[in-house]
Structure 1
Amino acid sequence: MATFHFSGPTFYYNDQPTRIISGAIHYFRIVPEYWRDRLLKLKACGCNTVETYVAWNLHEPQKGEFCFEGMADIVRFIELAGELGLHVMVRPSPYICAEWEFGGMPSWLLADPGMRLRCYHPPFLEHVDAYYDVLLPKLKPLLCTNGGPIIAMQIENEYGSYGNDKRYLNHLKESMTSRGMDVLLFTSDGAEDSMLQGGMVPGALATVNFGSRTKEAFDKLREYQPDAPVMCMEYWDEWFDHWSDEHHTRSAGDAAHVLDEILSENGSVNFYMFHGGTNFGFYNGANAHTVDGYEPTITSYDYDAPLNEAGEPTEKYFAIREVISKYVELGPCELPAPIPKRAYGRLELKELAPLSAQLDAISTPIHSAYPETMEMLGQDYGFIHYNTFITGPRPKDEFVIQNLRDRAQVFLNGKLAATLDRRDSETKLEFDVPSEGLQVSILVENMGRINYGPFMREYKGITEGVRFGRQFLSEWTTYMLPLTDLTGLKFEDFGALSEQSEPSFYRGTLTVVEPCDTFLSFDGWTKGVVFINGYNLGRYWNLGPQKTMYVPGPLLKQGANEIIILELHGTSDAAVTFLDQPDLG
């Protein structure tokens, strides 16, 4: 058993004065085989603590169906940290932000049209409590009060940036304490009056999040909490990237300078991020600071962190270690052996499977009067395909997908007519309908649910309806395409590459003698998703900034490895290249 508490401006672990020097590492963004490597590098940098969010949508992907295996084995991650001598801070909020799909909340919440999020709404709280009934008993043996490494847990996350429902926050606190979470509880918010007023909870330590202006932030925190330690729970050592952005970077010197400011103020700190990792699959989130300002996050969560996406120490790593050594006695920097990387070279993908011919093999048709959203059909992520028929003749008019979420390719009699994107209000589609009518197919991509701010409660797919002119169109056939099982695809060999006329799957086989980390280059490709041995590696897009995709060695196997790519628009060369270095743009 151990205790972690504070008295005045000082933290104590077993009555010994302690300063928390922590780094954020999300178990759900790293293959489990590399957890130990990343944690050892965290410790070698001088950190005594690791912090992680807990992603609800990863652990309860469907209501009442729980997963705590593989990458979702949070118990093993925490146990491993403890075995390495690290403390652990856990942030098990129903909401985590984290640039993660829907801020970590499961999309099935939205199947209830009356659902209210992050407030004292009994149906929402019932779901949270049912989740806590499963999650928190797994964490209880890992608390420091029970001999484990967990020293503190968070109540909600940056709640003051969203709301001020104290009844809700106190319910979460009570939900945790009544289930035996008897360690230090804390909140984290921006260092502004409204945020601290909205997010603080009586009996919980308040902390603040910032990337600069240390004294100003800590002074504001002391105004609200004068007799407690000051801690930056999220020291933003850099930032994340959206598609079509430039890759964000921050100089090692500047990051180290602000860290020095934090520690010189007798502050504790948690690097956000210490190691970012990867938004595998469809788990990337999105931001929207206005109704029309949708910005999806890229697959890489490199974050320009001290450890890069592939877990390698950067210049920033050594700069912050040097600062930490001014405040903590550190020995030699003993790092694990570098993880080998290989450039497997060029791989041609010689098999093709057009999507339209695969729909019945990988999905089941659903018939409805009007197009339904993903959430109402029970689909979480991926794509959804809608099909209807417009009778003719009709004169030229505008074709409108009302409240599209998020990006649609529209086909008329099988030919691409337009690509519509919620981020581009300028693109319009107009056509006339011949006397024999028109078959209309729409492939909609969920580009990631909003993870932060006031516009999170959104549905994906076609959320209002489809109009030709003023008339809403009815009688739809829909195929859900989460792409969780591609075994039904029927590929055929193709000869010379011709212009791609519709979204298509490409397949090739990479033969590997020694599985190692590698980086997949998509020069010549446009936009799509890549699968390796059935594992969804994530999205690529020639908009950048991401030019390559990180492939952890454990996703490969000795011998034949199946590579499948869903390309939405077309490629100038049906081949990819495996490199030994990334290109983040």
Structure 2
Amino acid sequence: MPALATTSDGFLLHGDPFRILSGAMHYFRVHPDQWADRLRKARLMGLNTVETYLPWNLHQPEPGTLVLDGLLDLPRFLRLAAAEGLHVLLRPGPFICAEWDGGGLPHWLTTDPDIRLRTSDPRFTEAVDRYLDLLLPPLLPYMAASGGPVIAVQVENEYGAYGDDIAYLKHIEHALRSRGVEELLFTCDQTAGDHLRNGTLPGVLATGTFGSRVEESLRRLREAQPEGPLMCSEFWIGWFDHWGGPHHGRDAEDAAADLDRLLAAGASVNIYMFHGGTNFGYTNGANHHHAYVPTVTSYDYDAPLTESGDPGPKYHAFREVIARHAPVPDEPVPAPSPKLAPTTVRLTHRTPLIPSAGRPVRAKDPLSADDMGRRAGYTLYRTTVPTPGHGLLHFEGGVGDRAQVFLDGAPAGVLERERYEETLPVHVPRADAVLDVLVENMGRVNYGPRIGVPKGLLGPVTFMGRPLRDWDCHALPLDDAPSTTTLTATDPEPVAPESAPTGTLTSRVPVPEAFASSGPAFHHGTFDVRTPADAFLSLPGWTKGQAWINGFHLGRYWNRGPQRTLYVPAPILRRGVNDLVLLELHGATTSDAHLTDVPDLGPTGP
């Protein structure tokens, strides 16, 4: 018998009545050195449980592998939760959505256009099975049946919004059970439309996801499941942001009032999110309903615990509500964490990106990023344009997701998938001018039928209607910042492309010398820290790119907003000299960056 069991209207934990008071916190969005702090603050708010997704794409970057260290050390996270006295809800997917790159489905799987994702297609279910074969054995000791903190495990994720292949859901249920998971299983679905009907399984607890209209949502859940506990497995108390949109917020009193309604109805709850964290590196997802819109680096979510781990207005409001319905620890509310004193960083070294692109793959027409095995980051394409003059440069199939176009090293324009742009008017200055196209993957779609849509250049390219052939295609190795020992001091004189310190371009097309003094480039500077503390990287005067501190990839910045600062976790800083590296794709009006003690996630909108 599982530790957590259901009755006609509630839960029993080890035979005693129990209400789940949970908050979502994704270990992979929080620096591991901060897990214990965030878990303690969950308990102090009155929670007895934490919930987390598991990102398949990071845990298994290649078939047959399993990564369980660093940000992905889930066993350590579970040990820390148990040490804090918290239970855990695990949501292994395989699909997680989560505004996460590709919804958590691995790139090596979604690039196969013949696989029917999230169905009983054997090619998909066999890949899931092989992943679970590796994933579950190290997690079984942390199940409640073995004395661990995990009391329930989710089957898939909001499947009713995607499909109605019940055979697939039954396969996932069997895959978990047959590999030793004895704990309570549950599904979660939005309560509108047919979602609950399509996404539930007989014998598996159905839960709902919603953020308002509590009475109506609970009524629909009860209609779909006449007996059993009422549970909101995602109580949406904030929202995520897209580049170019507003920063979303929700009034704390309004959210607290709905939480009170939930608890007064006797329901259990998982607050989504309790602590959002950050989409470090290239991990953000994107939506594509009417248009492609990528998610920002911050996943603050206007949660009770801010991106930097400080109690916000919702923390205090929710703690008061929980105290009306359950015991809350008689301990002080945690104070905000120390912040680094404002610091200016002078970026003194610069190395152009494109001259150091490395060896290309040569192809008649451009290869997509997926064809070159790139899950995330950037791809560079180079050819020559035989005919000079004014004309239209057309990218058949468009770009995935944002392309910067250069002719003989000079910027010629930008194309964006978000705007459905495929054609650019250009002036080709001479015969056999060098055409470079730098394409940025802004994040893979995480929800709906467009998961797995390719990145990079997506088809042939023409100029004035004539095909451009024979391309050098580069998958740029930009997962890590270049070594700071290879970055050269800023020099007003152009640097010859062959002297680029991070590698020699072995291309059939010569690199335009203009790239040595302009265009996309790495910028490096150092700053001193006396005592490491949380900070926020502010980049006024910079345009768009990536940021690393001491080799830790903070993520993407963009002056389009709404986000204006990047969170800098205290554990990545060190006493003494620290390194900041920016990959700036366009240009800057300053050589300074700033570390501040206050975040700026942009103006709040609806």
TM band (smaller chain): over 0.9
**Residues 392 and 434, structure 1, Cα contact 8 Å, conserved in 2:** no
Q: Which of 400, 409, 413 is the equivalent residue of 1:405?
A: 400
Aligned partner of residue 375 in structure 1, secondary structure: coil
Aligned partner of residue 402 in structure 1, secondary structure: coil
Looking at structure 2, the residues matched to 472 and 265 of structure 1 have their Cα atoms a distance apart, in angstroms, of 65
**400-409 vs 13-22, greater mean Cα deviation:** 400-409
Deviations 1:176-205 (A, max 9, x none): 000011100000000024101111012210
What code does the residue aligned with 2:489 have?
D
Which residue of the partner structure matches residue 86 of structure 2?
86
**Residue 473 (structure 1) aligned with residue 490 (structure 2):** no
Aligned partner of residue 346 in structure 1, secondary structure: strand
CA drift at 1:427: 7.8
Looking at structure 2, the residues matched to 58 and 426 of structure 1 have their Cα atoms a distance apart, in angstroms, of 31
Looking at structure 1, the residues matched to 533 and 298 of structure 2 have their Cα atoms a distance apart, in angstroms, of 19
**Residue 378 (structure 1) aligned with residue 373 (structure 2):** yes
What code does the residue aligned with 2:341 have?
A
Which residue of the partner structure matches residue 116 of structure 1?
116
Looking at structure 1, the residues matched to 234 and 581 of structure 2 have their Cα atoms a distance apart, in angstroms, of 38
**271-280 vs 430-439, greater mean Cα deviation:** 430-439
Deviations 1:24-69 (A, max 9, x none): 0000000011101000000001110000000111111122222100
Which residue of the partner structure matches residue 526 of structure 1?
543
Looking at structure 2, the residues matched to 167 and 379 of structure 1 have their Cα atoms a distance apart, in angstroms, of 32
What code does the residue aligned with 1:358 have?
S
Which residue of the partner structure matches residue 308 of structure 2?
310
Q: Which of 493, 513, 521 is the equivalent residue of 2:489?
A: 493
Deviations 1:180-238 (A, max 9, x none): 11100000000024101111012210000000001111111111101111100000001
Aligned partner of residue 493 in structure 1, secondary structure: coil
Which residue of the partner structure matches residue 107 of structure 1?
107
Aligned partner of residue 351 in structure 1, secondary structure: strand
Deviations 1:67-120 (A, max 9, x none): 100110001101110111111000001110000000011111133232221111
What code does the residue aligned with 1:508 have?
G
Looking at structure 2, the residues matched to 474 and 581 of structure 1 have their Cα atoms a distance apart, in angstroms, of 50
Which residue of the partner structure matches residue 156 of structure 1?
156
Looking at structure 1, the residues matched to 355 and 289 of structure 2 have their Cα atoms a distance apart, in angstroms, of 39
**542-551 vs 422-431, greater mean Cα deviation:** 422-431
**546-555 vs 55-64, greater mean Cα deviation:** 55-64
TM-score (norm: length of structure 1): 0.96
Aligned partner of residue 172 in structure 2, secondary structure: helix
Looking at structure 1, the residues matched to 285 and 117 of structure 2 have their Cα atoms a distance apart, in angstroms, of 17
Which residue of the partner structure matches residue 181 of structure 1?
181
Looking at structure 1, the residues matched to 11 and 593 of structure 2 have their Cα atoms a distance apart, in angstroms, of 52
Where does 1:160-171 land on structure 2 (aligned, <5 Å)? 160-171=160-171
Which residue of the partner structure matches residue 530 of structure 2?
513
Which residue of the partner structure matches residue 8 of structure 2?
8
**384-393 vs 185-194, greater mean Cα deviation:** 384-393
Question: Judging changes above 3 Å, is the alpha-carbon distance between structure 1 residues 431 and 550 closer, same or farther for their aligned structure 2 residues?
Answer: closer
Looking at structure 2, the residues matched to 330 and 400 of structure 1 have their Cα atoms a distance apart, in angstroms, of 59
What code does the residue aligned with 1:545 have?
P
Question: Judging changes above 3 Å, is the alpha-carbon distance between structure 1 residues 59 and 393 closer, same or farther for their aligned structure 2 residues?
Answer: same
**Residues 363 and 470, structure 2, Cα contact 8 Å, conserved in 1:** yes
Which residue of the partner structure matches residue 250 of structure 2?
250
| Structure 1, gaps ≥5 residues long | none
Q: Which of 573, 579, 584 is the equivalent residue of 2:596?
A: 579
Question: Judging changes above 3 Å, is the alpha-carbon distance between structure 1 residues 357 and 263 closer, same or farther for their aligned structure 2 residues?
Answer: same
Aligned partner of residue 384 in structure 1, secondary structure: strand
CA drift at 1:432: 5.3
Aligned residues: 580
Looking at structure 1, the residues matched to 84 and 277 of structure 2 have their Cα atoms a distance apart, in angstroms, of 20
Looking at structure 1, the residues matched to 414 and 193 of structure 2 have their Cα atoms a distance apart, in angstroms, of 44
| Structure 2, gaps ≥5 residues long | 495-513
Which residue of the partner structure matches residue 294 of structure 2?
296
Looking at structure 2, the residues matched to 318 and 333 of structure 1 have their Cα atoms a distance apart, in angstroms, of 13
CA drift at 1:390: 2.0
**Residue 416 (structure 1) aligned with residue 433 (structure 2):** no
CA drift at 1:394: 6.4
Looking at structure 1, the residues matched to 70 and 332 of structure 2 have their Cα atoms a distance apart, in angstroms, of 28
CA drift at 1:497: 11
What code does the residue aligned with 1:323 have?
V
**181-190 vs 395-404, greater mean Cα deviation:** 395-404
Which residue of the partner structure matches residue 39 of structure 1?
39
**Residue 556 (structure 1) aligned with residue 554 (structure 2):** no
Looking at structure 2, the residues matched to 90 and 577 of structure 1 have their Cα atoms a distance apart, in angstroms, of 38
Aligned partner of residue 419 in structure 2, secondary structure: coil
Looking at structure 1, the residues matched to 367 and 119 of structure 2 have their Cα atoms a distance apart, in angstroms, of 27
**Residues 143 and 151, structure 2, Cα contact 8 Å, conserved in 1:** yes
**Residues 66 and 135, structure 2, Cα contact 8 Å, conserved in 1:** no
Question: Judging changes above 3 Å, is the alpha-carbon distance between structure 1 residues 352 and 154 closer, same or farther for their aligned structure 2 residues?
Answer: same
Aligned partner of residue 238 in structure 1, secondary structure: coil
Which residue of the partner structure matches residue 460 of structure 1?
455
Which residue of the partner structure matches residue 342 of structure 1?
340
Aligned partner of residue 247 in structure 2, secondary structure: coil
CA drift at 1:428: 4.0
**439-448 vs 189-198, greater mean Cα deviation:** 189-198
**Residues 460 and 467, structure 2, Cα contact 8 Å, conserved in 1:** yes
What code does the residue aligned with 1:450 have?
V
Looking at structure 2, the residues matched to 304 and 395 of structure 1 have their Cα atoms a distance apart, in angstroms, of 49
CA drift at 1:269: 0.3
**473-482 vs 26-35, greater mean Cα deviation:** 473-482
What code does the residue aligned with 1:542 have?
N
Where does 1:118-133 land on structure 2 (aligned, <5 Å)? 118-133=118-133
Looking at structure 2, the residues matched to 237 and 565 of structure 1 have their Cα atoms a distance apart, in angstroms, of 34
TM-score (norm: length of structure 2): 0.93
Moved over 4 A (4+): 335-338, 432-435, 495-500
Where does 1:361-372 land on structure 2 (aligned, <5 Å)? 364-372=359-367
Pairwise CA RMSD: 1.9
CA drift at 1:561: 1.5
Which residue of the partner structure matches residue 327 of structure 1?
325
Looking at structure 2, the residues matched to 443 and 435 of structure 1 have their Cα atoms a distance apart, in angstroms, of 21
Which residue of the partner structure matches residue 272 of structure 1?
272
Looking at structure 2, the residues matched to 375 and 244 of structure 1 have their Cα atoms a distance apart, in angstroms, of 26
CA drift at 1:470: 3.6
**Residues 88 and 151, structure 2, Cα contact 8 Å, conserved in 1:** yes
**Residues 349 and 487, structure 2, Cα contact 8 Å, conserved in 1:** yes
Looking at structure 1, the residues matched to 400 and 325 of structure 2 have their Cα atoms a distance apart, in angstroms, of 50
CA drift at 1:441: 0.5
CA drift at 1:345: 1.0
Aligned partner of residue 492 in structure 1, secondary structure: coil
**Residues 236 and 271, structure 2, Cα contact 8 Å, conserved in 1:** yes
Aligned partner of residue 378 in structure 1, secondary structure: coil
CA drift at 1:576: 0.4
Deviations 1:246-265 (A, max 9, x none): 11111110010000110111
CA drift at 1:496: 6.7
**Residue 543 (structure 1) aligned with residue 560 (structure 2):** yes
**Residues 2 and 147, structure 1, Cα contact 8 Å, conserved in 2:** no
**Residues 393 and 461, structure 2, Cα contact 8 Å, conserved in 1:** no
Question: Judging changes above 3 Å, is the alpha-carbon distance between structure 1 residues 497 and 506 closer, same or farther for their aligned structure 2 residues?
Answer: farther
What code does the residue aligned with 1:576 have?
A
Looking at structure 2, the residues matched to 282 and 494 of structure 1 have their Cα atoms a distance apart, in angstroms, of 28
Which residue of the partner structure matches residue 506 of structure 2?
none
Which residue of the partner structure matches residue 233 of structure 2?
233
Looking at structure 1, the residues matched to 530 and 428 of structure 2 have their Cα atoms a distance apart, in angstroms, of 56
**Residue 282 (structure 1) aligned with residue 282 (structure 2):** yes
**Residues 519 and 581, structure 1, Cα contact 8 Å, conserved in 2:** yes
Question: Judging changes above 3 Å, is the alpha-carbon distance between structure 1 residues 471 and 126 closer, same or farther for their aligned structure 2 residues?
Answer: farther
Looking at structure 2, the residues matched to 3 and 536 of structure 1 have their Cα atoms a distance apart, in angstroms, of 40
